[in-house]
Amino acid sequence: MQLFISDLHLSERRPGTLTLFEHFIQSLAPQSEALYILGDFFDYWIGNDDQSAFHRHVQGLLKKLSQGDTLVFMLPGNRDFLLDEKFTQNSGATLIEDPHLITFNNASYLLMHGDTLCTQDWKYQIFRKLVRSRLFRQCFLSLSLSIRRKLAKNMRDKSRRSQAGRPYVLAYEPTVAQIFKTYPIDALLHGHTHEEKIYTYPLLDKKRFVLGEWTDTHGSYLKLDHTGVSLHPYSHP
């Protein structure tokens, strides 16, 4: 069995979500061969030198899981795209690229965070290209931690304001169709849009599984086993 989660947006300001995740990683996750985290695991990640007690604790949770029988994979999202090899050392999680192809039981699945599917938001796609460049990375990481923290907070506030009152940007279906054309897959698994929903494409005989966001009381995960992929809510027992 393999498990997939995304969009926990873990931060010091969301202790309840951390508690729910702690339960997940100690009860369900150790039963799986692999845990894939599909982006926005952290609400923000401004560089590996930001080793607060909170970050050390979360990395420790992943490390403990990876030292058992479960492989941990981390696909960075738009909030934590600065995760790097140092994080791998501290957490035992292997970083994977977006998109990432896996096969299981003779079926193929494509894993993504999901922001690259929202191509109607062209302003965001330009911004994404810019911040993922080597130059931006070097410049940003050369700033002091306190300045990076301020910039990250400004960016979050700005995105919250621009998002307020508007429907969440969804995946653009022609872009999804292009993905199905490009990759010989049975299903696409992603997060980012927080929908917690399964899309079916009967003409193509394909599916798209969209993970939900985690809160204090509600989590969301995908399970892949011999029966295929299934979407599940997660809550405190």
* Binding residues vs Mn ion (CB under 5 A): 40, 77-78, 192
**Minimum distance, C-beta of residue 198 to Mn ion, in the bound complex (Å):** 19
State the minimum distance, in angstroms, from the CB of residue 69 to Mn ion: 29
> Which residue, judged by CB position, is nearest to Mn ion in the bound state?
192
- Which CB atom, from 80 or from 186, has the smaller least distance to Mn ion? 80
Closest contact distance (angstroms) between CB of 77 and Mn ion is: 4
Q: Which is nearer to Mn ion, 17 or 78 (CB)?
A: 78
Question: 203: number of CA atoms within 13 Å, CB side?
Answer: 3
Would you list the DSSP string of 74-101?
A: E---SSSTT--HHHHHHH-PEE-PSSEE
Picking from 42, 54, 35, the residue whose alpha carbon sits closest to that of residue 94 is 35
The radius of gyration of the chain from alpha carbons, rounded to an integer in Å, stands at: 17
Q: Which is nearer to Mn ion, 104 or 199 (CB)?
A: 199
Pick the closest to residue 3 from 234, 233, 231, 222 (CA basis). Answer: 222
Helix, strand, coil percentages (3-state) for the chain, rounded to 5, are: 35, 25, 40
Least CB distance to Mn ion at residue 20 (A)? 19
Identity of the residue, 6 or 66, whose beta carbon is nearer to Mn ion in the bound complex: 6
